[in-house]
Structure 1
Amino acid sequence: MWTSWFGGFAEPSDYANAEMPDINLPAIIISSVFAVPYLAFLVILPGVREKRLITLAAFTEVALVGAILTSESNVFY
Protein backbone atom coordinates (compact mmCIF):
# COMPACT_ATOMS: atom_id res chain seq x y z
CA MET A 1 0.00 0.00 0.00
CA TRP A 2 1.13 3.61 0.41
CA THR A 3 4.07 4.49 2.62
CA SER A 4 3.06 8.11 3.16
CA TRP A 5 0.17 10.48 2.66
CA PHE A 6 1.29 11.30 -0.89
CA GLY A 7 2.61 7.83 -1.64
CA GLY A 8 0.17 7.30 -4.48
CA PHE A 9 1.89 10.03 -6.46
CA ALA A 10 5.49 9.19 -5.62
CA GLU A 11 6.63 8.41 -9.15
CA PRO A 12 8.02 11.34 -11.09
CA SER A 13 5.85 12.62 -13.87
CA ASP A 14 7.13 11.99 -17.35
CA TYR A 15 5.71 14.84 -19.39
CA ALA A 16 7.40 15.88 -22.59
CA ASN A 17 8.85 19.36 -22.66
CA ALA A 18 6.24 21.58 -24.25
CA GLU A 19 7.97 24.21 -26.33
CA MET A 20 6.44 27.65 -26.38
CA PRO A 21 5.91 29.32 -29.75
CA ASP A 22 8.22 32.15 -30.73
CA ILE A 23 5.31 34.52 -31.27
CA ASN A 24 2.37 35.36 -29.05
CA LEU A 25 -0.55 34.60 -31.37
CA PRO A 26 -3.36 35.91 -29.11
CA ALA A 27 -1.51 39.22 -28.78
CA ILE A 28 -1.17 39.51 -32.55
CA ILE A 29 -4.85 38.75 -33.13
CA ILE A 30 -6.06 41.23 -30.52
CA SER A 31 -3.63 43.90 -31.73
CA SER A 32 -4.85 43.44 -35.28
CA VAL A 33 -8.42 44.07 -34.07
CA PHE A 34 -7.30 47.64 -33.35
CA ALA A 35 -4.60 48.09 -36.01
CA VAL A 36 -6.53 47.02 -39.12
CA PRO A 37 -9.53 49.36 -38.64
CA TYR A 38 -7.18 52.20 -37.70
CA LEU A 39 -5.15 51.73 -40.87
CA ALA A 40 -8.37 51.63 -42.89
CA PHE A 41 -9.44 54.86 -41.20
CA LEU A 42 -6.14 56.52 -42.13
CA VAL A 43 -6.71 55.53 -45.76
CA ILE A 44 -10.22 57.02 -45.69
CA LEU A 45 -9.21 60.15 -43.75
CA PRO A 46 -8.15 62.29 -46.77
CA GLY A 47 -11.74 62.02 -48.06
CA VAL A 48 -13.20 63.58 -44.91
CA ARG A 49 -14.11 67.15 -45.79
CA GLU A 50 -14.93 68.79 -42.50
CA LYS A 51 -13.49 68.36 -39.02
CA ARG A 52 -10.66 66.12 -40.20
CA LEU A 53 -8.42 66.83 -37.22
CA ILE A 54 -11.18 66.31 -34.65
CA THR A 55 -12.20 63.06 -36.34
CA LEU A 56 -8.58 61.85 -36.29
CA ALA A 57 -8.18 62.76 -32.61
CA ALA A 58 -11.46 61.12 -31.58
CA PHE A 59 -10.83 57.89 -33.48
CA THR A 60 -7.24 57.73 -32.24
CA GLU A 61 -8.37 58.20 -28.65
CA VAL A 62 -11.05 55.51 -28.90
CA ALA A 63 -8.62 53.02 -30.47
CA LEU A 64 -5.93 53.83 -27.91
CA VAL A 65 -8.27 53.46 -24.92
CA GLY A 66 -9.58 50.16 -26.30
CA ALA A 67 -6.06 48.85 -26.82
CA ILE A 68 -4.98 49.91 -23.33
CA LEU A 69 -8.01 48.31 -21.67
CA THR A 70 -7.43 45.12 -23.63
CA SER A 71 -3.75 45.00 -22.67
CA GLU A 72 -4.60 45.64 -19.00
CA SER A 73 -6.83 42.56 -18.94
CA ASN A 74 -3.70 40.35 -19.03
CA VAL A 75 -4.35 38.97 -22.49
CA PHE A 76 -0.72 39.45 -23.51
CA TYR A 77 0.89 37.26 -20.84
Structure 2
Amino acid sequence: MSLARVIVTLRDSSPAGLDHATEALKREGLTVERVLGAVGIVCGSVDQSCLPRLQSMAEVAAVEEEREVRTSAR
Protein backbone atom coordinates (compact mmCIF):
# COMPACT_ATOMS: atom_id res chain seq x y z
CA MET A 1 0.00 0.00 0.00
CA SER A 2 1.46 3.31 -1.09
CA LEU A 3 -0.01 6.35 0.64
CA ALA A 4 -0.39 9.69 -1.07
CA ARG A 5 -0.83 12.94 0.84
CA VAL A 6 -3.52 14.90 -0.97
CA ILE A 7 -5.27 18.25 -1.04
CA VAL A 8 -8.92 17.94 -2.07
CA THR A 9 -10.78 21.03 -3.28
CA LEU A 10 -14.54 20.75 -2.85
CA ARG A 11 -17.27 22.15 -5.09
CA ASP A 12 -19.42 23.27 -2.13
CA SER A 13 -17.73 24.93 0.84
CA SER A 14 -20.94 25.66 2.75
CA PRO A 15 -21.00 24.05 6.21
CA ALA A 16 -23.51 21.37 5.12
CA GLY A 17 -21.66 20.68 1.86
CA LEU A 18 -18.33 20.49 3.66
CA ASP A 19 -19.63 18.01 6.24
CA HIS A 20 -21.26 15.84 3.58
CA ALA A 21 -18.17 15.82 1.36
CA THR A 22 -15.79 15.12 4.25
CA GLU A 23 -17.83 12.08 5.31
CA ALA A 24 -18.01 10.86 1.70
CA LEU A 25 -14.22 11.22 1.34
CA LYS A 26 -13.70 9.19 4.52
CA ARG A 27 -15.94 6.42 3.14
CA GLU A 28 -13.74 6.33 0.03
CA GLY A 29 -10.62 5.77 2.14
CA LEU A 30 -9.29 9.26 2.89
CA THR A 31 -7.76 9.74 6.33
CA VAL A 32 -8.68 13.36 7.00
CA GLU A 33 -5.89 15.35 8.65
CA ARG A 34 -7.12 18.94 8.16
CA VAL A 35 -10.30 20.66 7.03
CA LEU A 36 -9.99 24.25 5.81
CA GLY A 37 -13.68 25.08 5.74
CA ALA A 38 -13.36 28.74 4.76
CA VAL A 39 -11.84 27.75 1.42
CA GLY A 40 -13.46 24.32 0.90
CA ILE A 41 -10.30 22.23 1.18
CA VAL A 42 -9.75 18.87 2.87
CA CYS A 43 -6.20 17.56 3.40
CA GLY A 44 -5.31 13.98 4.20
CA SER A 45 -3.76 10.74 3.07
CA VAL A 46 -5.13 7.92 0.97
CA ASP A 47 -3.88 4.80 -0.78
CA GLN A 48 -2.84 5.77 -4.30
CA SER A 49 -5.20 3.17 -5.75
CA CYS A 50 -8.13 5.23 -4.36
CA LEU A 51 -7.16 8.47 -6.14
CA PRO A 52 -9.35 7.85 -9.23
CA ARG A 53 -12.39 7.28 -7.00
CA LEU A 54 -11.78 10.54 -5.13
CA GLN A 55 -11.30 12.44 -8.40
CA SER A 56 -14.59 11.14 -9.80
CA MET A 57 -16.72 12.14 -6.79
CA ALA A 58 -19.45 14.71 -7.54
CA GLU A 59 -18.47 16.72 -4.44
CA VAL A 60 -14.84 17.07 -5.56
CA ALA A 61 -13.54 19.82 -7.85
CA ALA A 62 -9.87 18.72 -7.75
CA VAL A 63 -7.45 16.31 -6.08
CA GLU A 64 -3.79 17.24 -5.97
CA GLU A 65 -0.90 15.36 -4.43
CA GLU A 66 0.77 17.42 -1.73
CA ARG A 67 4.29 18.52 -2.62
CA GLU A 68 7.08 19.89 -0.53
CA VAL A 69 8.40 23.25 -1.66
CA ARG A 70 11.74 24.62 -0.52
CA THR A 71 13.47 27.88 -1.10
CA SER A 72 17.16 28.09 -1.74
CA ALA A 73 19.30 29.71 0.95
CA ARG A 74 21.28 32.76 -0.08
Tell me the TM-score normalised to structure 1 length.
0.29
- Please identify which structure carries the higher strand content: 2
- Please identify which structure carries the higher helix content: 1
Q: Which has the larger radius of gyration?
A: 1
Tell me the TM-score normalised to structure 2 length.
0.30
